[in-house]
Amino acid sequence: MEQAILAGNKGHEGFALLYLDCDRFKQVNDNLGHGIGDEVLIAVARRVQHQLRPLDLVCRLGGDEFVILLTPIQGEDEVREVIGRVQQAMNTPVVLSDGRHLGVGISIGSARYPEQGRTADALLQWADDAMYQAKRQRREERETRKTSM
């Protein structure tokens, strides 16, 4: 990310940072075991990687959190397009090694350089905050659907 920031400071094209979190992943580990949790993380990483462009990069930050560096980007529409592809890829349940199918929800937040930050820490914080906002919104939408049934 530091190299992308240096390139941005030299007038090259901007980039975006996506912060991805697997929804309710602790329940997967607690109820199905860490082996299944590892399978889910590998499946998520592969699906994300397949939706990215050649210069983009995905890294596991820790636990069930991933950071995706989109570089270069032209604007917010391009960021939304990649987020949409990643979300679409997760609509199909993960097939586990024992043959079971497991739906995996994700929440994604984004930050664009330089609009939402000029340092790695500032961009990570912005994207993390945006991810938690997306997670809250998904939770509220689920609750609204439950109460309207």
Q: Which band of pLDDT confidence, cut at 50, 70 and 90, is reported for residue 145? A: confident
pLDDT digits (tens, 9 = 90+) for 7-22: 555 566 789 999 999 9
Residues belonging to the active site: 64
Type of residue found at 31: N
- For the purposes of burial, counting CB atoms within 10 Å of the CB of 146, is it exposed (0-12), middle (13-18) or buried (19 or more)? exposed
Could you give all domains of the chain from N- to C-terminal order, each with its CATH number? 2-147 (3.30.70.270)
- Sign of the C-alpha dihedral computed for residues 28, 34, 35 and 37 taken in this order: positive
pLDDT digits (tens, 9 = 90+) for 23-59: 999 999 999 999 999 999 999 999 999 999 999 999 9
- Residue 28, classed as helix, strand or coil, is helix
pLDDT digits (tens, 9 = 90+) for 94-122: 999 999 999 999 999 999 999 999 999 99
Is residue 112 within 8 A of residue 73, CB to CB? The reply is: yes
Peptide bond just before 93 cis, omega within 30 deg: no
Type of residue found at 132: Y
Half-sphere exposure of 12 (CA within 13 A, CB side): 11
Quickly count: other Cβ atoms within 10 Å of residue 119's Cβ: 13
Q: Which residues on neighbouring strands pair with residue 69, listed in sequence order?
A: 17, 57
